[in-house]
Structure 1
Amino acid sequence: MAFNINEIRKDFPILRRKINGHPLIYFDNAATTQKPQQVIDSIVEYYQNYNANIHRGVHSLSQEATDAYEIARKKIQKHFNIEKDYEVIFTSGTTHGINLVANGFTSLLNKGDEIIVSAMEHHSNIVPWQMLAEKTGAELKVIPMSEEGTLVLSEYKKLLSKRTKLVFVNHISNALGTINPIREITQLAHDAGAAVLIDGAQACSHIKPDLQELNVDFYVTSAHKMCGPTGVGILYGKEKWLNKLPPYQGGGEMIKEVTFANTTYADLPHKFEAGTPNICGGIAYGTAIDYLNTIGFDEIATYEAGLLDYATVELLKIEGLRIYGTGPHKTSVVSFNIEGIHPYDIGTIVDKMGIAVRTGHHCAQPIMEFYRIPGTVRASLTFYNTREEIDIFIQALRKAKAMLT
């Protein structure tokens, strides 16, 4: 369909809210995106009409719920261009997926092995690997970043060796908006014999990753960052790797046969889906993917690039403002500070004017330490935001600056 911002905004009921007497301007999309009515309706429909547990019942409601849930898995498979539907593992979100893989590699790594993470990761893609290194004796190495907020690939190449077993990088930095060169990073890792996990939480609302083209071994993301509900996400893993990893949790659904003498595990994907899943969330995730594809990711990317360019130009007109993350490949995230003003104070004042931005270290403290700052103001824009909202935001920032200096 043709990109019509006015019609798109009508799909999001929360955008009609007022905050502190002002129309809501929601610039915190990197934390979570708002939900269109279509997704909200799918949640209501499930609980009103066919709420039941899945995979286990012969009655009609269970079969309807099972069909809807597995249809959602197929939608996700198609969207990400995943070869086999059982390579899609439903999780509670990105963090769950990362921890599942980290736990599995506890039995696959040895002392002296090396694992590599980048300097611009979210804590969720740092801490599990630190824990893995502590358990196994593997050494954690870090790809450095440049002043403009890009990874230094020449140094990454030096870190790779025959001892490298795993590489972990985010597709897009949540704190800076930098889009990392995943295909190149993956190919270099594979040339060294290492597997690759990509944190796609920040990427999937902006771009449509082709996981076969990227050739990654694992990819994790969350529904709530792409207009779906919280509490659900996916882990993609190549079949050969998922078969190598032991189950993450024991319980119902993930078993084939259980006796007190021995238990055998179910085939993929159920081996990693113990217990009753977030059925409604999985179904609504499929609805969210349908919604975004109806708008079109090429259209979304073009529109958001325009917002990013406009916001960048207007923000830099404010004296003393510095943007962090100025690499050539970015998504619509602007992280900045105004000289002499704490980001928390700016965030508090603009909230009084109905504008939601994120302040702090954005669960990326190593980035803030690199720049020697306590945090930033982060305005993260998406396809339902407008230039008019950016103009109001600029006015609010100027007012905040006048009040605080």
Structure 2
Amino acid sequence: MDAAKEEFLRDFGEHYGYPNGPKSVDQIRATEFKRLQLQDLVYLDHAGATLYSDLQMESVFNDLTTNLYANPHSQSDSSSATLDIVKNARQQVLDYCNASPKEYKCIFTSGATAALKLVGEAFPWSCNSSFMYTMENHNSVLGIREYALGQGAAAIAVDIEGELHPEISGETITTKISPHQVQRRKVAGSLKEEPTGDVYNLFAFPSECNFSGLRFDLDLVKIIKEDSSKILGISSVCQSGQWMVLIDAAKGCATMPPDLSKYPADFVAISFYKLFGYPTGLGALIVRNDAAKLLKKTYFSGGTVSASIADIDFIKRREGIEELFEDGTVSFLSIVSIRHGFKILNSLTVSAISRHIASLALYTRKMLLAMRHGNGSSVCILYGHHNSMKLCHEMGPIISFNLKRPDGSWYGYREVEKLASLSGIQLRTGCFCNPGACAKYLGLSHLDLISNTEAGHVCWDDLDIINGKPVGAVRISFGYMSTYEDVKKFVDFVASSFMSPQIHIDHGNQMKGPPPFLTSIYSLYLMNSSPNCLCPLNDKDLLFYCICIFAPLLPI
């Protein structure tokens, strides 16, 4: 074992690698993710999609080739058995979020996006309603705005701040909302007027921002639902109605699923391929029973009605919440498969997975922050890690950043991605379908965003620097099977590819230096430094480190 890993384990060994689990992370990688080693790949896009394991897929294959599963809408024995497994899968999803079946139901969808869309299209909007959402939200949440505005409701993006005020009894958090401009459309027949019935508002936030990794405090759920008057700024944009809360847990659920017994959100959207890689095309909406009763379903299909007549306007909808909202036959073979994914997570435990991944993310953040060019300037600018005043009590396993040259100009994130790919490192770049967080952390104004679009910039193109500013970022993210070796290869890649050495002056002539072997020593120093040390390496430090390395080798 090299010295750098020994140092890492001294700091993080208690949490890294599942020391109390059935297998160590090294055993998991060697036996269940052989494809990474065979292709010499480092996979760091678990926020986009995590990886399925060999053991998981072998269990799925054996299950599907051993048992007979049939359409659960049929009445055969195999169909009835399939229906029972689907019911068990619903319970497993509820258990994962500690949700009582007496209070919640699990509606299977084609993904987290479909779950969010279901809420948007069925929510009881009125011209007196408000849709409020944090700036840090995925486009799939922002899309709900179209349904709200289309019904004459107001839509407001907000920033959330938590301010600590010491008191004799301890510290209390006063939550403040900073609203952006109120959005409203002129919709025929929907002029705002005195409410004639119940008014419902919807507040949406992610459990973990997929751009920065910031985790929002789930106490927001109780504050919004039970006493929104405590939130400074909310009354200025919304003065009436009952608040309901939507959590986009598609990313956060992998390491910190919301405990719905403590934080009774009305709607929670999750995605299974982000939990354990397979199956894709399947998600779920966990919905409170009383909230589900308020949703307005228009379309009906096979499975959602008890009876219908073809040539007259007559339908009788099913009363069960799942049956009412699951159009057509559910993806039952995919639903059968999720139990094998949950088995993997349960064997390791979510808490152990969270600690393991957190150790890697913390170490990587500190290594990136410690990197300095030869002139002392920072190599890496991280997004989100410094916002301690936010109502976000910790960081998730996402690191979003951009890289700078010694003169302060930016490396393009697409350049980073392409070089990483050549080095066998798979990561993601861009805005990650989170335009609010992207603009917020990169300091892009409305004028910047509009001019960038007019310049031809669209999602997934190669325009990464416009008018001297990055229009996106580099993102790496970790999964339960990620290892220290993944981190080391990534950090070495950044140091060797983007960190410039000191410029020396020799008789009036500039020379790039130190020599390449000293640059390697600089990188080695970073890898061997304590992860708790964020101080830049100055010339004296480098000289002292070189003496320590080479002094024993000099002849006496």
CA shift in 2, pair 1:115/1:288, >3 Å: same
Query: 2:402 — aligned with what?
Result: 337
The one-letter code matched in structure 2 to 1:302 is: R
Query: 2:28 — aligned with what?
Result: 8
Confirm or deny that 1:386 pairs with 2:457: no
How far is 1:48 from its partner? 2.3
How far is 1:399 from its partner? 3.2
What is the alpha-carbon distance in structure 2 between the residues aligned to residue 346 and residue 257 of structure 1? 58
How far is 1:335 from its partner? 0.4
Which range moves more in the overlay, 335-344 or 80-89? Answer: 80-89
Query: 1:136 — aligned with what?
Result: 151
Query: 1:125 — aligned with what?
Result: 141
Q: How does 1:162-311 map to 2 (within 5 A)?
A: 165-192=201-228, 193-227=242-276, 228-247=278-297, 249-260=299-310, 261=312, 262-266=314-318, 267-311=320-364
Query: 2:118 — aligned with what?
Result: 100
How far is 1:352 from its partner? 0.9
The one-letter code matched in structure 1 to 2:138 is: H
* Contact 1:116 1:164 (8 Å CA) reproduced: no
Query: 1:312 — aligned with what?
Result: 365
* Contact 1:73 1:286 (8 Å CA) reproduced: no
| Relative contact order higher in (CA < 8 Å, ≥ 6 apart) | 1
Q: C-alpha deviations, 1:10-68, integer Å up to 9, x for none?
A: 223433341xxxx1111000000001234313432354234543323333332332232
SS in structure 2 of the partner of residue 211 of structure 1: coil
The one-letter code matched in structure 2 to 1:155 is: I
What is the alpha-carbon distance in structure 2 between the residues aligned to residue 280 and residue 248 of structure 1? 27
How far is 1:402 from its partner? 6.0
CA shift in 2, pair 1:280/1:32, >3 Å: same
Structure (1 or 2) with the larger CA radius of gyration: 2
SS in structure 2 of the partner of residue 322 of structure 1: strand
| Identity score, percent | 22
What is the alpha-carbon distance in structure 1 between the residues aligned to residue 271 and residue 485 of structure 2? 29
How far is 1:185 from its partner? 4.1
Query: 1:81 — aligned with what?
Result: 98
Structure 1, unaligned stretches of length 5 or more?
147-151
What is the alpha-carbon distance in structure 2 between the residues aligned to residue 190 and residue 96 of structure 1? 28
How far is 1:145 from its partner? 5.7
Confirm or deny that 1:154 pairs with 2:206: no
* Contact 2:381 2:401 (8 Å CA) reproduced: yes
What is the alpha-carbon distance in structure 1 between the residues aligned to residue 220 and residue 424 of structure 2? 42
Query: 2:422 — aligned with what?
Result: 352
How far is 1:219 from its partner? 0.5
The one-letter code matched in structure 1 to 2:339 is: G
Residue 363 of structure 1 is aligned with which of 422, 433, 440?
Answer: 433
Q: C-alpha deviations, 1:313-362, integer Å up to 9, x for none?
A: 11113232100011451011110100120111101111111111101111
Which range moves more in the overlay, 281-290 or 42-51? Answer: 42-51
What is the alpha-carbon distance in structure 1 between the residues aligned to residue 357 and residue 83 of structure 2? 36
CA shift in 2, pair 1:46/1:395, >3 Å: same
CA RMSD in angstroms comes to 2.5
* Contact 1:183 1:215 (8 Å CA) reproduced: no
What is the alpha-carbon distance in structure 2 between the residues aligned to residue 218 and residue 247 of structure 1? 16
Q: How does 1:44-59 map to 2 (within 5 A)?
A: 44-59=61-76
CA shift in 2, pair 1:163/1:154, >3 Å: farther
Structure 2, unaligned stretches of length 5 or more?
1-17, 162-173, 183-197, 229-241, 373-378, 389-393, 405-409, 445-469, 501-556
* Contact 1:157 1:188 (8 Å CA) reproduced: no
What is the alpha-carbon distance in structure 2 between the residues aligned to residue 251 and residue 28 of structure 1? 37
- Structure with the higher fraction of residues in helix conformation: 1
Aligned residues: 391
What is the alpha-carbon distance in structure 2 between the residues aligned to residue 55 and residue 263 of structure 1? 22
CA shift in 2, pair 1:172/1:248, >3 Å: farther
Residue 41 of structure 1 is aligned with which of 46, 49, 58?
Answer: 58
